[in-house]
Every structure is written in C-alpha cells, then in structure tokens.
Chain A
Amino acid sequence: MSLASEPAAQPSRKSKSSLSRWGSPALGLLLPLGLAVGWELAVRAGWSNGRLVPPPSVIYATFAELAKTGELQRHAAATLARVVSGFGIGVIVGTVLGAITGYSMLVRRFIDPSLQALRAIPSIAWVPLFILWLGIFEASKVTLIAVGVFFPVYLGVMAAVMSVDRKIVEVGRAFRLSGFKMVRRILLPAVLPAYITALRSGLGLGWMFVVAAEFMGASEGLGFLLVDGQQLGKPAQIVAAIVAFALIGKVTDWLIVGISTPFLRWEDRFKSPAAQD
C-alpha cells in the first residue's frame, strides 16, 4: 500500500492551512473575550458590584429584554432609516460633485475651495443652524448625516477621477470611445475601487453623525436609548445600544464590501481581500 502515504499526507497539510486560516481571528478574539469573562467572574465573585460597568450577562439580559419588547427593533429601525436617507443624499451629491470637479479643472477651481473651507468646519457646529432652518424633527438630522457622508465621498470621487491613468484613457480614445461610453467602459471601472473605499468611509461617518443627530433631541433611535440610559442611570442599556450600533454598522459595511467584491476581483493587490478582513 505505497499509495496510502499520499492521501495520508494531505489531511495533515489541510489541517495545517485551516489552522492558520482560523488562527488569526481566534487570536484577535482572545483579548476582548478574556476581558469580558474576567469582568463577569469579578462581578460574580463580588469583587465589584458592576453597577457602573455592567458585566456581560447583564448587558445580554438588557439586550434580550429590549429585543423581546420590540423596543430595540423600533429604535434601530428609526436610526437605520436616518442613516440610509442621509447616506443616500450625501452619496448622490458627493458623487456628482466629485465626478464633475475631478473631470473639469475649471469647475474644480470654482467650487472646490469653498467646499474645502466648509469641510474645515466641524460638522456638529452646523447643528444649531440646521435646527433653526429645518426644525427639530427628521429633516435636520438627515441633513447633518448627509453633510457628514458628503465630504469623504466627494473627496474620494474627485481624487479617483483625477488619478485615472491617462494612458488607459488613451486606449479608450484609440478605440473611439467618448462621452457616456468612455465613462461606462473606462472611467467607471477605473474609479470603482477608490469609490468603494469612499463609500465605506462615508458610511462610517454617517453612523458617527447619526449619534450626534439623535443626541440633539430625538424620541426614538439608538441615540435616544443612549441619552435615556444616561439620564435614568441604566449603563446596561447604554452598552446594549452601543452593541447594536456596532452590529448594524458592521453589517452595513459588509453589505457594501459584499456587493462590490465581485466587481473588484481583478485588483492587483498587495494582499488578497480574504486576508485583509
């Protein structure tokens, strides 16, 4: 049975590679899990009452309670709706203006300095003005989020369009592409990787600004849960809302990555996408 040695050699190699594949995420989980378990044990052992820093079991119970009554879903849906509309508006305006300023030097010289000046203003500073202009309800919140999303998308698209390789554009010209065909067949695929990155940073800022928007007075939303938890002295509710933010934020980011990955398989990257995430 000399053949047996070969199949026998393969599983060991396979298990080695699966070890290195799972080894690094497991290593990353060690620290937070260790801290959580340690804190839980510390509270159980009575070394701390855990009132201001609730142990994981209490957070989980609060989370489950909020989810059971439907409170969590209601607040999460309100927050998600704000982020989605603000993100949508910010992305559309940022993409259009970024593409135009990236393409036309004249327009760039005309509007980019003003936009850069506006960008220097911390966006939260707009809040009083937005409330005066748009009232205390949804419009001012969505506007604030849209402003936050706009700048990274605008900058990313402008930089991406400006840095499209002239030589690649020339290939398009040599094949007599112009106008819409040039955009669809050359410019759009060329800027896609940078565009996805811009969308992801925009989304991150969108999640940041929704909290600020909900702090300024909201009757529902995960940000309301945070304020409510602070005012009523319920730290577990605050942490539960933070966990919900983290989960939903990560899921929306995954959505962008997941939808774009099939279009970016061609990228010649230093590290493969699988190894990066």
Chain B
Amino acid sequence: MLTLEHVGKTYSNGVHALADINFSVGPGEIVAIVGGSGCGKSTLLRAISGLDTPSTGRVVLDGEAVMQPHEKIGIIFQEPRLLPWLSVAGNVGFGLEDRPKAERDARVAEALTRVGLSDKAGVWPRELSGGQAQRVAIARALVPRPEVLLLDEPFSALDAFTRVDLQDHLLSLWADTKPTLILVTHDVDEAVVLADRIMVMKPRPGRIFDEIQADLPRPRDRQSSAFDRVRRHVMAALDRSLSRSGHNSNAETDPSGAALWW
C-alpha cells in the first residue's frame, strides 16, 4: 500500500508546485494522474519515487517513509534513458548487479522475451527504434520486480500506433506480477485505457481536483460507449480544473482555452 500524506512541494526558487496531496493506492491498482501542463504531476511522481523529497508531508510505502529511491519502486521516464555504453541486455540487467550472474542472465533473457526483443540482447541502444528503446526501459524497470512502478508520460514521445501497441504491452506485463502502477500522462485515452482510477490535478499549486473511477472490464475497447463515457467525464473534469473563472485566476480569459488544457 502506497500512501501520500499531506504531500507538498515548494522549490527553492519559491515555486509552490504541490499542496496537500493525500491519496492511497492499493497493491496491483493502476492509477493515472492527468492534468494541465505545469500542474505538478511530474513533481508528484518524482516525490513518490524518492528522486525529490517533498517539502511537507510524506510518502509511505508499506509503513515505511520513502525519503530516497527505494528498491521496491521502479520508474520509467518519458525518454528511455538507456545507458549508451551498455548493450540492451546490460541495460535490462542494470538493477541486478548484485545478483549471481546465472540468475541475472536468466531474468534478463526472460524480460527481453517478454517485451519481444530477445533478438536484440547484444545490440547497442543506438540501434533501437524509439518504441524498442522504451520497451527496453520498461524491461529494465520491471526486472528487479518492483512493487510500485511509476511511469512519467512514458509513451508521449512515440507515434500513435506504437503508443497503442505499448499500452497493450504494458498491461500484459503488468498482469504477470501485478505491481502498483502510477502513470502520469496528458493523454486522456491513455489514462482511460490503462487506469482503474484517474486523478485530475489542478495547477498553481498542484493539487488533486477530482478522482474518477474507470471500472471498465479489461481488455478495454477504445470504441465502446462505456469507454467514451469515462473519457468525456475525465475531459469535463479537466476543463473544470483549468476553468479561468476560478477564485485565483488572473490569466486572460480565452473562450477556447479550456480545450487546450495540455
């Protein structure tokens, strides 16, 4: 169980990025965090990962406060961030350095097979396409078997076909060990396809604005009316989260601005 207790973040330059965020994510649950640009969703994910520490409140995983990167928490970034001096297999096995070589090799081979890249084990990262590189990054994050996997707009740099393919792929990988997934995205479809629960954030300072249950049966049909209903629901919440008539609004009022939430 991952719990956020009154998590807030103020940067040293005075930017108030997050304010009083509270929620819990159960084991095996998939939560998507969506929100306008600059609403602090990446900051929130970094606070959960332990790469940044919250200024107030704390992140608790299984009763233990997360103050720095934790072995039970894996993270996948927007870019693959593969280490160019390691082969694909070396990158996937990066988090298994302290394991015996035989075990490491077996787990790396298994993970590469699972992401469909077993024929690429020996090649350098520079030889991979964008989608392949991100699959290697997913394998690298999953191979230490984290309890919580954080994804920071993991597919946003990919083309639409690759993105849909990798979303399905991620779900099938998730089904193997059922880790908790927390996914930051600005793609509403992606959130509805993947998540059990969708958190909509409101900016300045970043806070949770709305929480939407997406209890659709899996696998989800992107064309179904139920899917569309959830999607509209999220869209409406996003629009409201950015509505310029809010009490702290000093931005210019733009009639079409609400639809440009990203």
What is the interface of chain A, defined by CB distance below 8 A to chain B? Answer: 167-168, 170-171, 173-176, 185-186, 189-190, 192, 263, 265-268
Instruction: Please classify the interface of chain A as helix (H, G, I), strand (E, B), loop, or mixed, using the class held by over half of its residues.
Output: helix
Is the beta-carbon distance between A266 and B81 smaller than 8 angstroms?
no
If the complex has contacts A167-B77, A170-B51, A175-B94, are A266 and B69 also in contact, measured as CB distance less than 8 A? Answer: no
Q: Which residue of A lies closest to B97 (CB)?
A: A185
CA distance A18 to B94 in the complex (A): 40
Is the beta-carbon distance between A167 and B49 smaller than 8 angstroms?
no
CA distance A265 to B84 in the complex (A): 10
Is the beta-carbon distance between A266 and B124 smaller than 8 angstroms?
yes
CA distance A167 to B49 in the complex (A): 15
A189 contact from B69, B71, B83, Cβ within 8 A? B83
Is the beta-carbon distance between B124 and A174 smaller than 8 angstroms?
no
18 residue pairs from A and B, CB less than 8 Å apart: A167-B77, A168-B83, A170-B77, A170-B81, A173-B51, A174-B51, A174-B69, A174-B74, A186-B83, A189-B83, A189-B85, A192-B85, A263-B85, A266-B84, A266-B86, A266-B126, A268-B84, A268-B126
Chain B residues within 8 Å of A175, by CB: 69, 94-95
Chain A residues within 8 Å of B71, by CB: 176
Additional A-B contact list (15), CB under 8 Å, known A167-B79, A189-B83, A268-B126: A168-B83, A170-B51, A170-B77, A171-B94, A173-B51, A174-B69, A174-B74, A175-B95, A176-B69, A176-B71, A185-B97, A265-B124, A266-B85, A268-B84, A268-B124
Chain B nearest Cβ from A178, distance in angstroms: 9
Chain A residues within 8 Å of B125, by CB: 266
CA distance A175 to B70 in the complex (A): 8
CA distance A79 to B71 in the complex (A): 54
CB interface residues, B 72-103, toward A, < 8 Å = 74-75, 77, 79, 81, 83-86, 94-95, 97
Contacts between chains A and B (CB distance < 8 A), count: 45
Chain B nearest Cβ from A272, distance in angstroms: 12
Chain B residues within 8 Å of A170, by CB: 51, 77, 81
Decide if B113 is an interface residue (CB 8 Å cutoff): no
Q: Which residue of A lies closest to B96 (CB)?
A: A175
CA distance A44 to B74 in the complex (A): 78
Decide if B156 is an interface residue (CB 8 Å cutoff): no
CA distance A3 to B11 in the complex (A): 73
CA distance A186 to B68 in the complex (A): 18
Chain B residues within 8 Å of A186, by CB: 83
CA distance A192 to B85 in the complex (A): 10
CA distance A173 to B46 in the complex (A): 12
Chain A nearest Cβ from B98, distance in angstroms: 10
Interface size class of B (residues with CB under 8 A): 20 to 34
CA distance A167 to B76 in the complex (A): 12
B49 contact from A168, A174, A189, Cβ within 8 A? A174
Question: Which of A170, A171, A263, A268 is packed against the most chain B CB atoms within 10 Å?
Answer: A171
Chain A residues within 8 Å of B81, by CB: 167-168, 170-171
CA distance A266 to B126 in the complex (A): 8
Chain B nearest Cβ from A169, distance in angstroms: 10
CA distance A266 to B87 in the complex (A): 8
CA distance A174 to B85 in the complex (A): 18
9 pairs of A and B residues whose beta carbons are closest in the complex: A268-B126, A189-B85, A266-B85, A175-B95, A266-B124, A176-B69, A171-B81, A174-B75, A174-B69
Is the beta-carbon distance between B79 and A173 smaller than 8 angstroms?
no
Chain A nearest Cβ from B130, distance in angstroms: 14
Question: Which of B49, B84, B126 is packed against the most chain A CB atoms within 10 Å?
Answer: B84
Question: Which of A168, A171, A174, A186 is packed against the most chain B CB atoms within 10 Å?
Answer: A174
CA distance A175 to B86 in the complex (A): 15
CA distance A168 to B85 in the complex (A): 11
CB interface residues, B 160-175, toward A, < 8 Å = none
Is the beta-carbon distance between B68 and A176 smaller than 8 angstroms?
yes
Chain B residues within 8 Å of A171, by CB: 77, 81, 83, 94
Chain A nearest Cβ from B92, distance in angstroms: 12
Chain B 115-155: CB-based contact to A (< 8 A → 1; otherwise 0): 00000000011100000000000000000000000000000
A173 contact from B69, B74, B83, B86, Cβ within 8 A? B69
Chain B residues within 8 Å of A265, by CB: 124
CA distance A190 to B84 in the complex (A): 9
Question: Which of B77, B85, B124 is packed against the most chain A CB atoms within 10 Å?
Answer: B85
Q: Which residue of A lies closest to B141 (CB)?
A: A174
Chain A nearest Cβ from B51, distance in angstroms: 6
Chain B nearest Cβ from A239, distance in angstroms: 44
Chain B nearest Cβ from A197, distance in angstroms: 16
